């Protein structure tokens, strides 16, 4: 089954063709990062307008690079939630038109389910059940993946997502947007014990997380040094910050896996590219005797191939939609789209 997939939930316009949920025939991603860097973060209106100008061309390119024609496309999958509502609507409306014109099924896909499914493309042997930590600029959730379309949130951030926290910390350190990679590079030469940073705990919710206090602590440290005219150990602060984020994510994920009896641990999303987090998960999984699955860097960020992978399993589960499909800025990962 050849699925043309569309992703436009934030500031990447992406199109891909995926066969049977596991094989990527083509993958096109057009990033708007340079455009939004001028403002230090994503401007929703600019993101939406950019999607509009390139989405049709990108979809045609994906089909062509897959070595197929439009007649070879068996279904259209699209990220319909969660994300920036204007950006999502561009992708959803394009996908509805494409499905209608080709006479093929339309498959709505939850964006975070897509991030999880990126691992199916990298690891053909991976099958549910498993426990997954999905970490990105907009989401930080620990998910019990019981089956391909049966998922339950075990823990989640109560405020900022981990990726958003990286971006804010990078901004106060004068690093470019998006902040994940620059922060990672800066941290390589730093002492992760240079600064004592908070690791929040939520009473009565051992798997939930909070990053707002950590973000505020970094901002205060940087501003305090600036106001006093003192030289800031930026590498040490970046390393200490990465350690604090990892110390928040890894132990909770491993503890949830122990409680649920999951021996396969999956990490997904843009923040999964962080070298400290990847290394700490590798060490923790080895210690616990678990198998760790982390996607290659090219599949960590937003892309359409992951939407096509999850779309295949949504189709098998009968989760298709009609021309009245809407986009949703927020949606629980365990929920199905209204039909």
Question: What CATH number did the domain enclosing 283 receive?
Answer: 3.30.420.40
Q: Does residue 87 lie in a domain region? A: yes
Residues 91 and 221 both lie in one domain: no
Q: Does residue 200 lie in a domain region? A: yes
Residues 99 and 172 both lie in one domain: no
- Provide, rounded to the nearest whole percent, the portion of the chain with pLDDT above 70: 100
Q: Does residue 322 lie in a domain region? A: no
Rounded to whole angstroms, how far apart are CA atoms 231 and 237? 12
Alpha carbons within 13 A on the beta-carbon side of 179: 24
Q: What is the mean pLDDT of residues 106-123?
A: 98
Domain boundaries, position 56:
2-116+302-316
Q: Does residue 335 lie in a domain region? A: no
Residues 66 and 205 both lie in one domain: no
Q: What is the pLDDT of residue 266?
A: 98
Q: Does residue 330 lie in a domain region? A: no
Residues 68 and 137 both lie in one domain: no
Q: Does residue 332 lie in a domain region? A: no
Tens-place pLDDT, residues 179-219: 899 999 999 989 999 999 999 999 999 999 999 999 999 99
Residues 12 and 44 both lie in one domain: yes
Residues 210 and 311 both lie in one domain: no
Residues 50 and 112 both lie in one domain: yes
- Is the pLDDT reported for residue 273 higher than 80? yes
Residues 152 and 269 both lie in one domain: yes
Q: Are the CB atoms for 113 and 337 separated by under 8 Å?
A: no
Tens-place pLDDT, residues 4-15: 999 999 989 999
- Is the pLDDT reported for residue 339 higher than 70? no
Element of type H or E holding 266 = strand 264-268
Residues 135 and 102 both lie in one domain: no
- 338 or 82: which carries more pLDDT confidence? 82
> For the chain, what is the domain count?
2
Residues 151 and 287 both lie in one domain: yes
Q: Does residue 11 lie in a domain region? A: yes
- Is the pLDDT reported for residue 286 higher than 90? yes
Rounded to whole angstroms, how far apart are CA atoms 287 and 184? 24
pTM of the predicted structure, to 2 decimals: 0.94
Which of 171, 164, 207, 204 lies closest to 186, judged by CA?
171
Q: Does residue 229 lie in a domain region? A: yes
Q: What is the pLDDT of residue 37?
A: 77
**Average predicted confidence (pLDDT) for the chain:** 95
User: Per-residue confidence at 32, pLDDT binned at 50, 70, 90?
Assistant: confident
Residues 42 and 182 both lie in one domain: no
Q: What is the pLDDT of residue 204?
A: 95
Q: What is the mean pLDDT of residues 223-251?
A: 96
Residues 160 and 281 both lie in one domain: yes
Which of 268, 248, 261 lies closest to 309, judged by CA?
268
Written as one string, the DSSP assignment of 40-88 is: TS--HHHHHHHHHHHHHHHHHHHHHHTT--GGG--EEEEEEESS-HHHH
């Amino acid at each position: 089954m050849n699925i043309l997939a569309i992703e436009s939930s934030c500031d990447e316009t992406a199109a891909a063709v995926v066969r049977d949920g596991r094989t990527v025939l083509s993958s096109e991603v057009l990033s708007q990062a340079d455009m939004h860097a001028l403002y230090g973060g994503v401007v929703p209106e600019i993101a939406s307008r950019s999607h509009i100008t390139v989405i049709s061309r990108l979809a045609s390119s994906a089909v062509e690079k897959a070595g197929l024609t439009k007649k070879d496309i068996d279904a259209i999958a699209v990220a319909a939630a969660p994300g920036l509502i204007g950006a999502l609507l561009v992708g959803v409306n394009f996908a509805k038109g494409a499905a209608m014109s080709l006479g093929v099924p339309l498959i709505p896909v939850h964006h975070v389910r897509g991030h999880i499914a990126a691992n199916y493309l990298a690891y053909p042997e991976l099958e549910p059940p498993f426990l997954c930590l999905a970490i990105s600029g907009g989401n930080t959730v620990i998910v019990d993946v019981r089956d391909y379309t049966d998922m339950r949130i075990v823990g989640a951030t109560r405020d900022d997502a981990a990726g958003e926290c990286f971006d804010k910390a990078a901004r106060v350190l004068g690093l470019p947007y998006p902040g994940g990679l620059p922060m990672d590079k800066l941290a390589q030469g730093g002492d992760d014990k240079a600064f004592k940073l908070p690791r929040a705990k939520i009473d009565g919710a051992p798997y939930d997380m909070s990053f707002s206090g950590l973000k505020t602590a970094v901002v205060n440290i940087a501003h305090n040094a600036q106001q006093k005219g003192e030289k800031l150990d930026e590498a040490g602060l970046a390393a200490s910050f990465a350690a604090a984020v990892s110390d928040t994510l890894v132990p909770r994920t491993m503890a949830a896996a122990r409680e649920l009896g999951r021996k396969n641990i999956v990490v997904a999303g843009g923040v999964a590219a962080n070298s400290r987090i990847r290394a700490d998960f590798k060490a923790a999984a080895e210690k616990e005797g678990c198998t760790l699955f982390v996607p290659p860097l090219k599949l960590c960020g937003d892309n359409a191939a992951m939407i096509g992978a999850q779309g295949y399993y949504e189709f098998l589960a009968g989760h298709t939609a009609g021309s009245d499909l809407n986009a949703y800025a927020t949606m629980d990962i365990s929920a199905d789209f209204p039909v």
